[in-house]
């Protein structure tokens, strides 16, 4: 009997800055509205076939998205911001953080002559799998929200170049911490097994 291995997440980042504004911009231009955090979730599926638990297990092992993993969550965090140079220094003027999540699940179409027990077992397994993958999505969103809070709280810098360096370094440190948190999440849940993501 194999555990459902579902799954570590890849975390990529992109943080790019827009052009610095003219120093003659009025001080009010440096007042920043609340940062915007957006989440996009895409669910994709791969087909498995079989009329027994053993056949489905073999399909999951051979067709899973990363070898012997039954489901997988990829997520990317990107931040973009404008900054403005005034007499008091260079400050973030506007900020947006985008989270793109892709979750890959197995899809089984019952051949129709299988037991209701097997169908029920599969439904329960998919539900538990979704709970585990939702945990990965939640970690991604928490990372994005923390980045938005941290970057929007930066004070004025003596130069825009230093603002860029510190802002991106701050974002990367936050992402690294959430990478570690995600690894802990998979260890603690045994890749979803303790949440019921185990088949058969």
- One DSSP character per residue, 20-87 reads EPPTTS-GGGGPPPPPEEEEEEEEEEEEE--SSHHHHHHHHHHHSTTSS-S-EEEEEEEEEEEEEEET
Over residues 16-29, the mean pLDDT reads 36
Question: Phi and psi for 171 in degrees, rounded to 5?
Answer: -60, -40
Write down the pLDDT at residue 112. 85
Question: Phi and psi for 65 in degrees, rounded to 5?
Answer: -65, -25
Task: Read off the tokens for 30.
Answer: 């440096």
Residue 27 has pLDDT above 70, yes or no: no
Residue 81 has pLDDT above 50, yes or no: yes
Phi-psi region of 196 (alpha: psi -120 to 50; beta: other; left: phi over 0): left
Q: Where are the domains of the chain?
A: 9-195
**pLDDT tens-digit series, residues 129-151:** 999 999 999 999 999 999 999 99
Q: How many C-beta atoms surround the C-beta of residue 16 within 10 A? A: 10
Give the confidence band of 67 by pLDDT, cuts at 50, 70, 90: low
Q: Report DSSP state, residue 126.
A: H
- Does the bond joining 7 to the residue before it have cis omega, within 30 degrees of 0? yes
Write down the pLDDT at residue 69. 84
Q: 99: helix, coil or strand? A: strand
Give the confidence band of 186 by pLDDT, cuts at 50, 70, 90: very high
Question: Among residues of the chain, what percentage have pLDDT more than 90?
Answer: 76
Sheet containing 36-48, strands listed edge to edge, beginning at the edge strand earlier in sequence: 9-20, 72-86, 89-108, 36-48
Residue owning tokens 């900054």: 83
Give the confidence band of 65 by pLDDT, cuts at 50, 70, 90: confident
Write down the pLDDT at residue 68. 67
């Amino acid at each position: 009997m194999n555990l459902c291995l579902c799954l570590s997440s890849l975390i990529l980042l992109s943080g790019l800055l827009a052009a610095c504004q003219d120093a003659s911009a009025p001080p009010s231009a440096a007042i920043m509205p609340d940062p915007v955090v957006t989440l996009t979730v895409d669910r994709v599926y791969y087909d498995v076939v079989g009329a027994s638990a053993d056949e489905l297990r073999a399909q999951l092992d051979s067709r899973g998205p990363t070898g012997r993993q039954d489901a997988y969550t990829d997520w990317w965090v990107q931040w973009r911001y404008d900054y403005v140079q005034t007499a008091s220094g260079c400050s973030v003027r506007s900020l947006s953080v985008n989270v793109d999540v892709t979750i890959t699940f197995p899809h089984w179409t019952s051949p129709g002559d299988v037991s209701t027990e097997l169908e029920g077992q599969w439904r329960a397994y998919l539900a538990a799998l979704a709970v585990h993958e939702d945990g990965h999505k939640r970690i991604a969103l928490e990372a994005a929200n923390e980045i938005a809070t941290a970057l929007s709280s930066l004070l004025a810098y003596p130069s825009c170049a230093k603002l860029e360096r510190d802002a991106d370094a701050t974002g990367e440190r936050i992402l690294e911490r959430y990478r570690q948190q995600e690894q802990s999440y998979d260890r603690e849940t045994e890749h979803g097994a303790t949440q019921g993501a185990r088949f058969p």
